Structure 1
Amino acid sequence: MDISVVIPLLDEQDSLVELHDWIAQVMQSNRLTYELIFIDDGSRDDSWSIIKKLNTKNPSVSGICFAKNFGKSQALHAGFEKAKGDVVITMDADLQDSPDEIPELFRLIKEENLDIVSGWKKKRYDAYFTKNLPSKLFNWAARKISGLKLHDFNCGLKAYKKDVVKSIEVYGEMHRYIPVLAVNAGFKNIIEKPVAHQARKHGKTKFGMERFINGFLDLITIWFVSRFAKRPMHFFGLLGVLMFIIGFGFAFYLGLDKLYFNPTGRLIAERPEFFIALTTMVIGTQFFVAGFLGEIVLQNKNNKERYRITDQTKP
């Protein structure tokens, strides 16, 4: 199979038939074998009924229905597990992503031997102050923190080599950072392609301003996990040692001052430096213990670590 198209959705009953017909026409005109996987993320309208009807009409259509709204990351993860195509393409169900982009995305992955082609909505048809401007700020911060030079992390239209989606685990709200997760898994051939963006025809967006706040928090999480997940002592231990040294320095200063320079002055426990020394030494010890416990947890994990082999010799 050439392509798996994975489409997460929530309450998109008015768009599904048109989107299916558009994708099917593109695939047939380009002679591509495909499967179309809809993931209904707890819709409260007739989306699932429409997906079942499309499945009856077109055997290339399949669907997964969640019991409730679990989020886009979980929907994508379920679709990635089910996907069988050589190239996996994700897109939104609101008709703002154009299926006409699919053949070129497929060609880039296959002929250029790329791991990911990430869509870039260079010209957007969204409200400027509520979506475009916050998105620009978010993408700027994401580029600076992640080191991945993409203009549009939030674009739902992306193409992946099959090995990529089978090697990563999308959780929480990490769907924005799948390219970053892929880089952490050893996939380096990532490019960005400008794609057509269209005004929403039906319904309304399911994401509010809180997605940008959550996005920044997730970005910090992924930065920390990518750098210190395998070596927590390098982070917590370093902070702990620094805090302990600061506290010990204050305590040493207080001791010397009391013994040699000001023996008749205030008691050590009455000086503010004493509480600084005590607090920083306690916090430093806690940081160090946290790093030590993190190392123990890593050493005793029962699950085997995922890894990617690029080549191996024959026995």
Structure 2
Amino acid sequence: MDISVVVPLFNEVESLPELTTWISRVMDENRFTYEILLVDDGSKDGSWEMICKLHGHNPHVKGIKFRRNYGKSAALNTGFEAAQGNVVITMDADLQDSPDEIPELYRRISEENYDLISGWKAKRYDPLTKTIPTRLFNAATRSMSGINNLHDFNCGLKAYRKAVVKNIEVYGEMHRYIPVIAKWAGFTKIGEQVVEHRARKYGKTKFGMSRFINGFLDLLSIFFVGKFGKRPMHFFGSMGVLSFFIGLVMTIWIIAEKLIHIAHNEKYRDATDSTMFYLALVAIVVGSQLFLTGFVAELVSRNSPERNNYQIEDKV
């Protein structure tokens, strides 16, 4: 099979007939073999009934229904597991992504051997309350991930080589950072394509300000897990040793200063009267706790059943 189109959706019943018809037309015009995987993330507006109806008229349309709303990441991960195409393309169900982009995305994956192509909606029709946080997130993600050639990490329109989606796990709200997850998994040939952004035709946006906070926390989480997931002691241990060393130096300074005053018969104050004493105490305690945290995390990591689960590209 050439292409699997994975569409996560939540309460998008009005747009599904038009979307699937549009995708099928593009596929037929280009003579692709394909499937359309509609993952219903616990919709309450009749989306599942519409998916069943569409499946009856078009066998290329397949559906997966969640019992309740789990989020876009869960829907994408489930769609990735079910996808059978050599190239997997994701898009949103709200008709803001154009299926006309599919042939070029497929060509770049299959002919230019990219692992992942991420869409870039250079001209957007979203309100400022959505575009400004998005730009901030993109800048922070570029800085922390080192993927400097992407402008829009959270664009729903992306294309993947099949091996990518079968070797990554998307959970929580990590769908915003799939290119980062792919990079940590060893898929480093990541490109970008300017795509059309269409104004929303049906329904209303699911974007909320809570995603601003959650997205930042997810970015920190994925950065830590990707870099130190198999060696937590390198992070906590180094931070702990640094903090402990700073506290130790401050303690030695306080003691040396007091001894010098005593040797010269000069007036001195008790160590506990010094602000530096408490700073040193905090630094030593925090350093010890960080070191112990790293030690415990290392024990957990060493006993994990996935401790030696590495990505293998090929064998001969």
CA contact (8 A) 2:301 2:307 kept: no
| Counterparts of residues 183-262 of structure 1 (less than 5 Å) | 183-262=183-262
Cα deviation per residue 1:89-127 (whole Å; 9 max; x = unaligned)? Answer: 000000010011111111111111111111111111222
Measure, in 2, the Cα distance between the counterparts of 1:17 and 1:279: 62
- CA–CA distance in 2 between the matches of 1:208 and 1:135? 12
User: Within 1, Cα distance between the matches of 2:60 and 2:313?
Assistant: 32
One-letter code aligned to 1:26: V
State the match for 1:131 in structure 2: 130
**CA RMSD of the aligned region, Å?**
1.5
1:207–1:105: structure 2 CA closer, same or farther, 3 Å change rule?
same
Counterpart residue identity of residue 133, structure 1: I
Amino acid at match of 1:291: G
Contact 1:243–1:284, Cα closer than 8 Å, also in 2: yes
Farther-moved stretch of structure 1 (262-271 vs 163-172): 262-271
Amino acid of the structure 1 residue aligned with 2:144: I
Identity %: 59
- 2-side partners of 1:137 and 1:114: how far apart? 26
Q: Distance in 2 between matches of 1:180 and 1:157?
A: 16
Question: Which residue number in structure 1 is paired with residue 275 of structure 2?
Answer: 272
Check 1:47–1:146 CA distance in 2 against 1; reply closer, same or farther (3 A cut): same
More displaced, 133-142 or 115-124? 133-142
The aligned counterpart of 2:303 is: 300
Output the CA distance in 2 between the equivalents of 1:162 and 1:269.
64
Asked if the contact 1:9/1:41 (under 8 Å) is kept, the reply is: yes
Distance 2:187 2:257 in 1: 58
Instruction: Please list every run of 5 or more consecutive structure 2 residues that lacks an aligned counterpart in the other structure.
Output: none
Partner residue of 1:177? Answer: 177
| 8 Å Cα contact 1:8-1:93 kept in structure 2 | yes
Q: Out of 64-73 and 222-231, give the one that drifted further.
A: 222-231
The number of residues matched between the two structures is: 312
1:198-254 deviations in Å (ceiling 9; x for gaps): 110001001123323322221122222222112211111111111111211222222
> Which ranges in structure 1 are unaligned for 5 or more consecutive residues?
none
Q: Which runs of 4+ in 1 moved over 6 A?
A: none
For residues 128-178 of structure 1, give each alpha carbon's deviation from its aligned partner in whole angstroms, at most 9, with x where no partner exists: x22223322221222112111201111100000000000000011110111
Secondary structure of the 1:167 match is: coil
CA–CA distance in structure 1, aligned partners of residues 196 and 113 of structure 2: 23
* TM-score, length-scaled by structure 1: 0.95
In the TM superposition, 1:8-157 aligns within 5 A as 8-127=8-127, 129-148=128-147, 149-157=149-157
- Give the C-alpha shift of residue 304 in structure 1: 5.2
Is the contact made by 1:168 and 1:185 (CA closer than 8 Å) also made in structure 2?
yes
* C-alpha distance in structure 1 between counterparts of 2:179 and 2:67, whole Å: 28
Whole-angstrom CA distance in 2 between matches of 1:306 and 1:178: 19
CA contact (8 A) 1:244 1:282 kept: yes
Paired letter, 2:75: A
1:310 matched to 2:313? The reply is: yes
Q: Distance in 2 between matches of 1:157 and 1:51?
A: 21
Instruction: Quote the offset at 1:270 in angstroms.
Output: 3.2
Secondary structure (helix, strand or coil) at the match of 2:259 reads helix
- Aligned partners of 1:137 and 1:271: how far apart in 2? 42
Partners of 1:253 and 1:122 in 2: CA distance: 57
Range with greater deviation from structure 2 (71-80 or 139-148) = 139-148
Taking structure 2 as the reference length, the TM-score comes to 0.94
Q: Does 1:158 align with 2:158?
A: yes
2:233 aligned partner, one-letter code: M
CA distance in 1, matches of 2:172, 2:186: 21
Kindly indicate whether the alpha-carbon contact (under 8 Å) linking 1:244 and 1:284 is maintained by their aligned counterparts in 2: yes
- 1-structure distance, mates of 2:134, 2:279: 42
Aligned residues of 1:236 and 1:287 also touching (Cα < 8 A): yes
In structure 2, what residue type is equivalent to 1:147? G
Give the counterpart letter for 1:65 in structure 2. K
Question: Aligned with 1:172: secondary structure?
Answer: coil
Partner SS, residue 88 of structure 1: strand
Contact 2:116 2:190 in 1 (8 A): yes
Q: 1:305 to 1:75 in 2, by over 3 A?
A: farther
Of 289, 292, 306, the match for 1:289: 292
CA contact (8 A) 1:167 1:306 kept: no
Q: Distance in 1 between matches of 2:186 and 2:276?
A: 48
Deviates more, 1:139-148 or 1:175-184: 139-148
1:47 alignment partner AA: S
